[in-house]
Structure formats: C-alpha cells, structure tokens
Amino acid sequence: MDTNIGRFSAAPDIGDTEAAAERPAEELKPPELVYGSAEEFLHEQLLPTYVRDVDGRAAKWCLEWYFHPEALSRVEALWRAWEHLRLDGATGISVWWKDHADHHMNVLLDPRGPFYKCDMQKHRDPEHLEPKRAPEGWFPDARMLPN
C-alpha cells in the first residue's frame, strides 16, 4: 500500500515575507503540482482515500464519470483545492476534507446527483435543463457597463 496516500506536504520554507519579496522572480515560482490532471488525482488520491459503498441506491457513481460536465467540474475543483491546501501543513488537510471533499463527494454520490441515470454497468447521458432566455435587456452585459 502506498504510504503517501492521504498525506499533505508541509508548507515550503520560503523565509519571511520581506526576504521572499527580495528574491528574483524565478525563485518565487509556484510549487509544482503533485498530480498532472484531475483524472490522475481522482485515481491516485481521491478514490483510494474516499472509500464508500457505492451500491446504486444510497450512493451512485458512473464508471464514465468524465461524460458528466458537473462531475468533471467538481473533480477538477477537488484537485485544484487539494493542490493548494496540501501546502498548509497545519490545517490544510482538515479544511480540504471539511470544505471540499465531503461537500463535493456528497453531491457526486447522491442518488439524485449527476449520475442519477447511470448504473454500475452503463453510462447514460444526463438530461440538460433547457431554460428559456430572458427578454432582451433584463440581464445587461456587465462587461459593457461603466465602472
């Protein structure tokens, strides 16, 4: 078993803020990512640590989860938050579990969540809402409004 699963890194020691501000830009580059993609994060970190009984009744998952736009966005958000919070050696892991993993995984696994039409053997495309557009002028383009 991989003993690194579920572990967060200690924050890198970059010294005090004033000393860091004096360093050349190349030394202040952001930390390297642990995982190169949301999919790698899902398979190597999230699913090995977030273990649930997915029976199709109390919890659902789709084996082709990447065809579900909401799931794709939520897994991407989980990965990005993990990459950021792993650097906080004090409370990062707790914050990630409480504010990110528990929240998004509860939504993803909910039987009425994004995988509601799928079962463990077959993916079924989700039905998208098709709302009407509001009348012209109800929602002005904020990019065109004066500051």
- Per-residue pLDDT of 101-120, as tens digits, reads 999 999 999 999 999 999 87
What φ, ψ does residue 62 adopt, rounded to 5°?
-115, 130
What is residue 17's predicted lDDT score, i.e. its pLDDT?
Answer: 47
Taking the whole predicted model, whether its pTM rises above 0.75 is answered as no
25: confidence class by pLDDT, cuts 50, 70, 90: low
Please, what is the Cα angle at 44 between 41 and 49, to 5 degrees? 100
pLDDT at 130 over 80: yes
| Average confidence score pLDDT of the chain | 86
Name, in order, each residue with C-beta under 8 angstroms of 93's C-beta and a sequence gap of 6 or more: 6, 8, 85, 86
